[in-house]
């Protein structure tokens, strides 16, 4: 949502409490995800996210656009709720500095960064490969698209595909073979 749309939405919320439903629908999943990643407790995260949106609903009339997005405001409320929770729990995390002073920690952090970078690069390459295949798959006749999609995207066996499409198994094998050959030629 761009800043102008957010301003309009905030104005609507000031005059019509029902408009807050749009705020909830747009930002609840990301705020809940943020809280869940911080707490790793599903029920607690639902409670904190609910409290976040209740406070936002009750205070939306005070929110005015001053260069801070609605999203940032919601995350701020969620952060405050998380902080309140941890204060009540007397949460005392180990200092990051203490962790970094451990000579083994630096090596471990670098190793984790390298592993994470490799994993992300692999996922990106797989995503790019998938998109290229998907674009070319759409250029094939529908009969080839169906069998290839069922076999490789849905992980169906030839027998299952033959049942789904109402074709005999030999025909499915033939369509798969010809469709894959055409796809290889496109790539």
pLDDT for residue 69 is more than 90: no
Mean pLDDT computed over every residue of the chain: 79
DSSP-derived letter for residue 140 is S
Q: Tens digit of pLDDT for each residue in 135-165?
A: 887 788 888 977 887 788 778 889 878 877 7
Q: What pTM was computed for the model? A: 0.47
Predicted confidence at residue 58, as pLDDT, reads 86
CA–CA separation, 58 and 152 (whole Å): 50
Predicted confidence at residue 137, as pLDDT, reads 78
Q: What's the whole-number mean pLDDT along residues 103-130?
A: 68
State the pLDDT confidence band at 92, using cuts at 50, 70 and 90. very low
Predicted confidence at residue 174, as pLDDT, reads 96
DSSP-derived letter for residue 151 is I
State the pLDDT confidence band at 107, using cuts at 50, 70 and 90. low
CB 22 within 8 A of CB 14: no
SS3 state at 65 = coil
Q: Tens digit of pLDDT for each residue in 164-176?
A: 778 899 999 999 9
Q: Is 166 left (phi over 0), alpha (psi -120 to 50) or beta?
A: left
- CB burial of 112-138 (b: ≥16 within 10 Å; e: otherwise) equals eeeeeeeeeeeeeeeeeeeeebeeebe
pLDDT for residue 177 is more than 90: yes
Predicted confidence at residue 97, as pLDDT, reads 52
State the pLDDT confidence band at 96, using cuts at 50, 70 and 90. very low
Close Cβ partners of 133 (under 8 Å, ≥ 6 residues apart)? 183, 187
Q: Is 63 left (phi over 0), alpha (psi -120 to 50) or beta?
A: beta
pLDDT for residue 21 is more than 50: yes
């Amino acid at each position: 949502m761009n800043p102008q749309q957010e301003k309009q939405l905030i104005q609507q919320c000031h005059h019509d409490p029902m408009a807050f439903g749009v705020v909830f629908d747009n930002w609840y999943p990301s705020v809940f995800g943020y809280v869940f990643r911080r707490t790793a407790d599903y029920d607690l995260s639902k409670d904190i996210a609910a409290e976040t949106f209740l406070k936002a609903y009750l205070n939306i009339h005070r929110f005015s656009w001053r260069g801070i997005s609605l999203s940032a405001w919601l995350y701020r409320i969620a952060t405050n709720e998380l902080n309140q929770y941890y204060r009540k729990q007397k949460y005392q995390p180990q200092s990051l500095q203490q962790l970094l002073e451990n000579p083994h920690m630096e090596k471990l952090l670098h190793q984790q960064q390298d592993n994470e970078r490799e994993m992300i690069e692999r996922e990106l390459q797989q995503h790019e490969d998938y998109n290229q295949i998907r674009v070319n798959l759409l250029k094939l006749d529908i009969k080839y698209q169906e069998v290839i999609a069922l076999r490789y995207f849905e992980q169906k066996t030839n027998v299952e595909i033959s049942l789904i499409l109402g074709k005999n198994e030999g025909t499915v094998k033939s369509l798969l073979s010809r469709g894959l050959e055409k796809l290889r030629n496109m790539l």
